[in-house]
Amino acid sequence: MVQSVHCSLLSSNTVNKLTGALLIFTIFPAHVSANSCDIEGYTIGFFNGVATTLKGAKQGQKKIESTLGIKQFNGEPVEYQLFYNDSYIESNGLNVLADFAETFDQRTQELGQKQFDRWEAFWEIVSGRQDSSIIQKISATFSWFKGFVSDLLSQGMNTMIREFLQLLSTSIDSPDTEKTQMQHKLINDSNTWKGKKLIYIAHSQGNLWVNQSYKYVVSQLGYDADNIHVVHIAPASPTLTPDSEYILSTSDLVINGLQLTGIGSVPVSNTAIAPSTADIAGHGLIEIYLTHPDSINKIKKSVGRAFDSLTKPDMEEHLFEVTYQYTPSFVESHAEPEIKFVDNPSGDWFEKAMYPHYDDSYFEYDSAAYKYKLKPVAGLKYLSHQRDKKDRENQTFTVVQCSNIPNDDPFILGEKSEALIWYGYDEQPDNTKVIVTVRDRYGRKLQSGEQSVSELRRKGWRYQGIFLDLKAKNPYSQKEKSFIEKQNLETSYELHSNSILLPTAS
């Protein structure tokens, strides 16, 4: 008959890494991959630029992949992933800018022969400063130029271009901003749950989005600036992520236009690329930055330095780690423990652990051996796990299933150590005890408990075992779950262990 039961609820934010142990045996359910907690590999994420369709963004991602040509690094796989954003900035402004630049280029070739900076004049026109000193100087030399400027301004081209540049630089707000933020968050959650080392490449307005993702990633458990690196291409933002690198063409009229028109501040151009008929605006990812040898070389070098600098996130290759520390006198007087999952209940489980004589308890009586042993519930689908049995005084049970957790209910882990030596009430050696500790994959101690057999025997009770709960909760809405499934992403679970039950019997 059970005389007493003790239940403790402990939590801690302490981070304490444990060294790996020799694994004696491993149990995997048939439906679960044996390596779902492995921490390895790199992800190269691409954030597309302004006025890019989904098809165009995918083409950009594929071009980056073929340009880099990296499938593996240091023996670890390299994946490529798209962080799509629909800026809802129509391409009209970009097209007008390109047409404007092409017309201006054709009509003003002779200005360069007279040592005038004609592109400075170009941005003065776009800015509506038709009476600026540079335009007055050119008009004094070329009588036709003033009329040319008036014709351009009368067509309203500069107004449309300025509106386009303002939208490009000031925000990432659009009808689908909330949706895009959600999707990027879920992709980042998947990457960080898998422990990927991250290289994010952004083009144009995608740099505004990548800045948000960088801040989010370094705020996640196990991650800091050593695990993510950003390469900015044609950044439409003055803010670059820490220790990042950027590539900006001298002939990129879109990004340089932000600076020259006074609309926004951007980094100084650092790559000399001549204007191209393939993209007169000089801003295209594929047409310019992934075509010109100098920009390709800079992108490759930046990515190479990122690979060399990234380190493994501060995570372990398991979901939970449960350690049982037995004192020498406990080991001497008890058989090797049973440690196994016994239940995955949707409701209360305490009574099943407290009362061995109940038909639905977690115990069954072995009449031949005159002892109780653990009895998992029928049809239990347990989580895959490993057991280290090498050190009798320090037993480690690790859950190595980090994906496809079947439900949000707790998994109950039971421990049963049968007494081999029966001491009198006052004869049990001092310091006969067991300490159990639960940690998650981030090294956080979720809870711990202790049971002293010495104290139990002095009270006339005996050790019955230890039961605790392990819970991996899926925190996402149905809408988010649908996106995760559609994109074949990993779920990032919230990890809990709330109760340790220490039943005793007379």
- Give CA–CA dist 504/1, Å, rounded: 9
Residues 327 and 475 in one domain: yes
pLDDT at 159: 59
Place of tokens 């045996």: 25
Instruction: Identify whether residues 188 and 287 lie together within a single domain.
Output: yes
Which of 132-141, 174-183, 410-419, 459-468 has the highest average model confidence (pLDDT)? 410-419
Residue 9 clears pLDDT 50, i.e. is over it: no
- From 133, 167, 201, the end of a domain falls on 167
Q: Are strands 245-247 and 228-233 parallel, antiparallel or unpaired?
A: parallel
C-alpha span between 232 and 241 (Å, rounded): 9
More confident position, 253 or 109: 253
Domain boundary among 294, 309, 324: 309
Residue 253 has what pLDDT? 82
pLDDT band at 10 (very low <50, low <70, confident <90, very high): very low
pLDDT > 70 in the chain, percent: 78
Whether the pLDDT of residue 296 is over 70: the answer is: yes
Report how far residue 405's alpha carbon sits from residue 392's, in angstroms, rounded to the nearest whole number: 30
Residues 51 and 64 in one domain: yes
Residues 247 and 332 in one domain: no
One domain for residues 430 and 364: yes
Q: How many structural domains compose the chain?
A: 3
Phi/psi at 448 (5° precision) = -150, 160
| Residues 482 and 376 occupy one common structural domain | yes
Tell me what pLDDT residue 205 has.
84
Would residue 99 count as lying in a domain?
yes
Which tokens go with 92? 């009209």
pTM of the model: 0.83
Mean pLDDT of 313-322: 98
| Band of pLDDT at residue 432, cut at 50, 70 and 90 | very high
Which residue range forms the structural domain that includes residue 83?
Answer: 42-87+181-309
Q: How confident is the model at residue 403 (pLDDT cuts 50, 70, 90)?
A: very high
Name the CA dihedral angle for 400, 404, 409, 410, rounded to a multiple of 10 degrees. Answer: 0
Q: How many whole angstroms separate alpha carbon 219 and alpha carbon 231?
A: 19
Backbone angles phi, psi at 436, to 5 degrees: -115, 135
Strand partners, 388: 396
